[in-house]
Amino acid sequence: MTDIRHFQLLARYNAWMNEKLMDAAAALPADALHTDRGAFFGSILGTLNHLIVTDTMWFRRFLDHPAARRGQALSPIAAMPVENRLDARPFDTLQALRPRRTAIDAAISAWVGELQPDDLAYLLTYRNSKGIPSRRETASLLLHVFNHQTHHRAQAGTLLTQAGIEVGVTDLLILVPDEQPARC
How far apart are the C-alpha atoms of 48 and 30, rounded to whole Å? 14
Q: Judge whether 11 and 147 are in contact, CB under 8 Å.
A: no
**Helix (H) and strand (E) counts in the chain:** 7, 2
As annotated, the binding site includes 50, 148, 152
How many CB atoms are located within 10 Å of the residue 166 CB? 10
As annotated, the binding site for a divalent metal cation includes 50, 148, 152
Strands 133-137 and 123-127: antiparallel
Sequence-distant (6+) residues with CB within 8 A of 114 are: 67, 70, 71, 73
Q: Judge whether 85 and 59 are in contact, CB under 8 Å.
A: no
